[in-house]
Structure 1
Amino acid sequence: MSVLAWIIATSLLGATLSVSFAAVLTLNTRASWVQMLISYAIGALLGAAFLNTLPEALELSKNPAQMTATVLFGILLFFILEKLVLWRHCHAEECEVHDRLHGAPAVVAAATHNHDNGRSGMMIMLGDTFHSFVDGILIAAAFMADVQLGIVTAIAIIAHEIPQEAGDFLILLNSGYSRRQAFLFNLLSSLATLLGGLATYFMLQDMNHIIPSLLGLASASMIYVAMSDLIPGLHKRPEIDATIQQVALITLGISSIWLAGSLFTHPA
């Protein structure tokens, strides 16, 4: 199976799986399911970043200091980008963007209240289309470095996309869209992953020296999303039983990434 085929297959599968699973979760409005997925996604993201993507980037770059500086720059960059999103969408201390960024379960209850007449739905979709496009860039860069790394990176991205898509689905419902419209908009937005992957594949054919930097940014993205956007939501449930469950699911996420990396061998 060629690298291009892997990129196309994982991008399409990831988009379809994440949106479909998110729709099922949303239609059942099981906040506990989304919370469990968020804990698992944290482990998957951190496992992919520290066990696969970052080590590969360090190996390819041959300059550890430059690569760690790239990761540091990436974390700062994602912080600034998230601030821009919050400044654009939020005019009060509490808003749907805050809820979405810090855990989809907070949006579950909000979606059952009054519609906002489309105030936030389409803006969220525009932002997520760009986010999906960037995911495609990261997946393609990982596959072009190593097929095993690409598979692990795709798994981690799909894992964190499911609770995010659930939040997006609920925001669209809260904006007055039907369930069918919300599903189609989310699916179209997620397909930008394929566009990002294809664009990166054809653009990087003669620019392999950029791949280590992209892998460094991919690591920064995973670390930032896990530590800044997802973990704070878990602290809203400080009970001992909830904490044990969260730690267990984070460990499961890390273990699954480690297992996936062990199962898939490097291409010859």
Structure 2
Amino acid sequence: MTLTGMAVEHPVLAALLATTFTWAMTAAGASSVFFTRRTMAEAGANVLLGFAAGVMLAASFWSLLSPALELGANGDWGETFGFIPAVAGFLLGAAFLRYAHALVPHLHYFANVSDGPPSKLKRTTLLVFAMTLHNIPEGLAVGVAFGAVAAGAPEAGAAALALGIAIQNIPEGAVISLPLHAEGMSRRRAFLWGQGSALVEPLAGVVGAAAVAFMTPILPYTLGFAAGAMIYVVVEEVIPESQTGKHGDLGTLALVAGFAVMMVLDVAFG
């Protein structure tokens, strides 16, 4: 049985496998610390972060918001008010991430800005916290997508979303492990922390899939919630980091490329 076929009968297990794959791609990216120089070039960081932002933006619409709007229009709200579940979920998702960012101290590494409550934690720890917050909506989005398959959503769309998140997780792993090594951490520890920042993805994925599988009527709300959380992270964290320094234009071009890649994946698979 394929992963997408499994999603129909066992959506939570399918979500767990899919998000384990996205975590593994983060680990693959983090392993670059064993093969590259000690620091990451500013231009390289702009490109990697910009690409990740583009993928997340495209996934938020094609894989999450668009299905949420369609489900709402075909549900109890009707075509006139079918936008309500998607919009409500979207706003709640953004509010959830805003609250999480306010509670958890973290570091915008390349912009060299600390956020959240005052903290005496090390810069390396704050960086890991930032990337962990970043990975929660990604795992949630994949989990909700596979949960939606069990409710009748296209199987290929969930696979496309998982693949897109996995692709952008490769540079994300490098974006965290290389700066950790540059801060003085050993290569081995930098790798462990880099891949560890994505361990929340399987957990969030299982939660998202279980919520949808056992409470199907909330599907358009959960799809919107995942999209709102992703958009908040992109605007708050990823895009500003991709625009630091003298090579912000490279980050913008990479964002366009990432958006196009995710758009192609979703249309081709879906």
**What is the root-mean-square deviation of aligned Cα atoms in Å?**
3.2
Q: Is it true that 1:39 corresponds to 2:58 in the alignment?
A: no
Identify the range of structure 1 (190-199 vs 170-179) with the bigger mean alpha-carbon deviation.
170-179
- Tell me how far apart the structure 2 counterparts of residues 233 and 203 of structure 1 sit (CA, whole Å): 32
What is the CA distance between 1:15 and its match in structure 2?
Answer: 1.1
- Tell me how far apart the structure 2 counterparts of residues 124 and 246 of structure 1 sit (CA, whole Å): 20
Q: Is it true that 1:261 corresponds to 2:266 in the alignment?
A: yes
Q: Is it true that 1:224 corresponds to 2:232 in the alignment?
A: yes
- Tell me how far apart the structure 1 counterparts of residues 262 and 134 of structure 2 sit (CA, whole Å): 22
Q: What is the identity, as a one-letter code, of the residue corresponding to 2:145? A: A
**Aligned equivalent of 2:255:** 250
Deviation >6 Å, runs of 4+:
none
Q: What is the identity, as a one-letter code, of the residue corresponding to 2:140? A: I
Q: How does 1:113-128 map to 2 (within 5 A)?
A: 119-122=122-125, 124-125=127-128, 128=131
Q: Is it true that 1:151 corresponds to 2:152 in the alignment?
A: no
Q: Is it true that 1:99 corresponds to 2:99 in the alignment?
A: no
Identify the range of structure 1 (204-213 vs 175-184) with the bigger mean alpha-carbon deviation.
175-184
What is the CA distance between 1:139 and its match in structure 2?
Answer: 0.9
What is the CA distance between 1:211 and its match in structure 2?
Answer: 2.3
Q: Secondary structure at the match of 1:190?
A: coil
> For the Cα contact (< 8 Å) 1:135–1:193, is it kept in 2?
yes
**Aligned equivalent of 2:99:** 80
> For the Cα contact (< 8 Å) 2:26–2:170, is it kept in 1?
yes
Q: Is it true that 1:168 corresponds to 2:171 in the alignment?
A: no
Which digits, 9 at most, give the CA deviation of each residue in 1:88-107, with x for residues without a partner?
A: 45xxxxxxx1326x5xxx69
TM-score by length of 1: 0.73
Q: Is it true that 1:7 corresponds to 2:12 in the alignment?
A: no
- Tell me how far apart the structure 2 counterparts of residues 15 and 150 of structure 1 sit (CA, whole Å): 16
Q: What is the identity, as a one-letter code, of the residue corresponding to 1:257? A: M
- The number of equivalent residue pairs is 240
Cα distance change of structure 1 residues 123 and 253 upon mapping to structure 2, 3 Å threshold: closer
Q: Is it true that 1:140 corresponds to 2:135 in the alignment?
A: no
> For the Cα contact (< 8 Å) 2:139–2:201, is it kept in 1?
yes
Identify the range of structure 1 (256-265 vs 176-185) with the bigger mean alpha-carbon deviation.
176-185
**Aligned equivalent of 2:76:** none
- Tell me how far apart the structure 2 counterparts of residues 174 and 248 of structure 1 sit (CA, whole Å): 26
TM-score by length of 2: 0.73
> For the Cα contact (< 8 Å) 1:42–1:230, is it kept in 2?
yes
Identify the range of structure 1 (171-180 vs 63-72) with the bigger mean alpha-carbon deviation.
171-180
Cα distance change of structure 1 residues 182 and 217 upon mapping to structure 2, 3 Å threshold: same
Cα distance change of structure 1 residues 22 and 185 upon mapping to structure 2, 3 Å threshold: closer
Cα distance change of structure 1 residues 48 and 200 upon mapping to structure 2, 3 Å threshold: closer
Cα distance change of structure 1 residues 22 and 186 upon mapping to structure 2, 3 Å threshold: closer
- Tell me how far apart the structure 2 counterparts of residues 261 and 171 of structure 1 sit (CA, whole Å): 32
- Tell me how far apart the structure 2 counterparts of residues 238 and 180 of structure 1 sit (CA, whole Å): 31
What is the CA distance between 1:160 and its match in structure 2?
Answer: 4.7
Q: What is the identity, as a one-letter code, of the residue corresponding to 2:84? A: A
- Tell me how far apart the structure 2 counterparts of residues 165 and 14 of structure 1 sit (CA, whole Å): 11
Give structure 1 stretches of 5+ with no counterpart: 90-96, 108-116
